[in-house]
Amino acid sequence: MLHTSTNLTSAQSIVDVLQAVIEKSAAHIASWATDEDQTVAYDLASMSSAVAAAAELLRHGTGEEAEADLALVYAADVAADLSGRLTGREALWGVAPTELAGIADQVAAGRDPALLDRVAERVLASSEAGPRHLSEDLQLVRSTFRKFAEDRILPVAERIHREDEDIPAEIIEGLAEMGCFGLSIPAEYGGSAEGGADELLSMVVVTEELSQASLGAAGSLITRPEIIGTAIARGGTEEQKQRWLPGIAAGEKLCGVAVTEPDYGSDVAGVTTRAVRDGDDWVLTGVKTWCTFAGRANYLLVLARTNEDRTVGHRGLSLFVVEKPSFPGHEWSMAQEGGGTIEGRAIRTLGYRGMHSYEVRFDRWRVPATDLIGMDDGLGRGFYLQMQAFANARLQTAARAVGVMQSALGLAVDYTRERSVFGRPLAGYQLTRVKIARMAALVAACRAFAFSAARAVTANGGQLEASQVKQLACRAAEWVTREAQQLHGGYGYAEEYTVSRLFVDARVLSIFEGADEVLALRVIARQLTKA
């Protein structure tokens, strides 16, 4: 009990000081920085995400020794990171060189190899980062999807990755039967969302379990229904909701998103794909890229410029639902009477295989005016509807990252317990145990933050938190999978070992659904420093 009380107090002391530094620095940076001063703004945003996660890890626990230890380990790691970013730039941050001196003893306690060894001992015994504290209902959801992932996804995950195959229909059909695609769609339109405080938390729990088995073959299947379903639910007419949402919720209509363009990625407001009104139709022309699952999709959510006056920027953009047949494979095309065409070509990628990301070319493709989300009321609202939908997607992406990390942690535990080096198990070495403990603390912090952000977004807020946890968890997934791969030694570089797939899959997480730098500079830092 002595350890528990002391470590909780120490962790809280660290978090209190870190929060004060972030608040003080945000106010100072707001007083001098411009959009050109990106270095300090990026560090402020990144550290704010880590500090917020440290606070949530403290709140998430019940005060037991294992959780107190994890909270102190993570808080101390965050303090050490912040100290490094402050050194030599204190004046830019608006803090004194001694700002963290008052918590030096607590940070030292959190970085003590003896504490890390104690954390590692528990993780090595359980393969878990820490308790989740889920309700009975959510625990049932978790166990149900875990079993599905183990029985139906894991046996084919490696083959899909190595051969860059399509996701088998039986996985999609199985998840549809379990209601996986309607988790955030209102119950009145065939989904399971009824407005409860934990409705997005259910999505987070499901996503983590599926992503543990495979990011590309299962964990990402929910993302596109989340984006398109949210956009329709918030901006569509009643007729459109009735027409589109039930099929999405049932998994009968698969979804893709066509927003990014070859010259406009995170700068969504600059898109050039045009939609020109012609009688009862809109005519789409332009090229989209990184359209994940666009081949198999029946509905493509397309962001296009409906106002040719480019000076109005994002206010000239609207969202369309383009209906199409589902195509397997890596290339597809379709044509209309009158000459309109759509062509799709899959982009070969390092990882994240199974979903396939396409370049999609629209050439005079006619879309009924009734397929513009919101119809006349939706003109010029595409950017706003998409940004609202992307809050859910960022939260879901954070859950994907946690699932990948948890899988990597479990594999690292299994391997280091079984592998002997110089006559003793790899798990018996101090450095191995330190790595395992720090990995677990990071996974636990990201998970706790994802749970908290889910509740915030459900309560019609949480835009900042969703962006922070997405930015943090996705960067963390790269480090955790890298460490897990390193612990496997040469075998970690072999495709026959799952950890190599996790490593290349994790790399995409900081790029899509809001690139790391863009989230930090244009979302998180701006909200922290706004007057």
Question: Residue 191: inside a domain, yes or no?
Answer: yes
Q: What is the DSSP letter of 261?
A: B
Could you tell me if residue 419 is inside a domain?
no
Q: Same structural domain for residues 90 and 164?
A: no
For residue 267, the model assigns a pLDDT of 60
- The domain spanning residue 224 has which CATH number? 1.10.540.10
pLDDT at 526: 94
Domain membership of residue 33 as a residue range: 2-111
pLDDT at residue 112, as a whole number:
97
β-bridge partners, 264: 261
173 and 79 inside one domain: no
Do 73 and 149 fall into the same domain? no
Helix (H) or strand (E) holding 177: helix 169-177
Residue at 171: amino acid letter: I
Q: Mark which of 111, 144, 163 sits at the end of a domain.
A: 111
Alpha-helical regions (H) of 459-529: 463-487, 498-506, 516-518, 525-529
Q: Are residues 188 and 103 in the same domain?
A: no
Residue 497 falls within a domain, yes or no? Answer: no
Residue 88 lies in a domain: yes
> Rounded to an integer, what distance in angstroms lies between the CA atom of residue 516 and that of residue 43?
12
Q: Which helix (H) or strand (E) holds 362?
A: strand 357-368
The confidence score (pLDDT) of residue 459 equals 86
Distance between CA atoms of 284 and 501, rounded to whole angstroms?
A: 37
Residue 77 in domain: yes
Catalytic residues: 513
Question: The pTM is what?
Answer: 0.94
Q: Among residues 218, 208, 211, 209, which one has the least CA distance to residue 160?
A: 218
Please report whether residue 188 resides in a domain: yes
Q: Are residues 186 and 244 in the same domain?
A: yes
Residue at 100: amino acid letter: L
| 105 and 160 co-located in one domain | no
Is residue 149 assigned to a domain? yes
| Per-residue pLDDT at 410 | 98
Q: Which of 111, 144, 169 is where one domain is finished?
A: 111
Q: What are residue 258's DSSP bridge partners?
A: 302
Q: In terms of domains, do 157 and 245 share one?
A: yes
Q: Are residues 193 and 231 in the same domain?
A: yes
Q: Are residues 62 and 143 in the same domain?
A: no
Q: Are 57 and 25 in contact (CB under 8 A)?
A: no
Question: What does each of the 531 residues of the chain score in pLDDT, given as a tens digit?
Answer: 456 788 999 999 999 999 999 999 999 999 998 889 999 999 999 999 999 999 999 998 777 899 999 999 999 999 999 999 999 999 999 999 999 999 999 999 999 999 999 999 999 999 999 999 999 999 999 999 999 999 999 999 999 999 999 999 999 999 999 999 998 899 999 998 877 778 889 999 999 999 999 999 998 898 899 899 999 999 999 999 999 999 999 999 999 999 989 876 556 667 889 999 999 999 999 999 999 999 999 999 999 999 988 778 778 999 999 999 999 999 999 999 989 999 999 999 998 898 899 999 999 999 999 999 999 999 999 988 888 777 888 999 999 999 999 999 999 999 999 999 999 999 999 999 999 999 999 999 999 999 999 999 888 888 899 999 999 999 999 999 999 999 999 999 999 999 999 999 999 999 988 889 999 999 999 999 985
* Nearest Cα residue to 476 out of 501, 440, 432: 440
As a whole number of Å, the end-to-end CA separation of the chain is 44
**Cβ neighbours of residue 355 closer than 8 Å, sequence gap 6 or more:** 167, 216, 217, 220, 221, 292, 293
Pick from 472, 471, 398: which is nearest to 54 by CA?
472
Do 144 and 241 fall within a single domain? yes
Identity (one letter) of the amino acid at 405? M
Residue 349 counted as domain residue = no
pLDDT value for 336: 95
Residues 143 and 240 in one domain: yes
Number of domains in the chain: 2
Model pLDDT, residue 3: 65
Quote the pLDDT of residue 1.
Answer: 47
The DSSP secondary structure of 443-470, one letter per residue, reads HHHHHHHHHHHHHHHHTT--HHHHHHHH
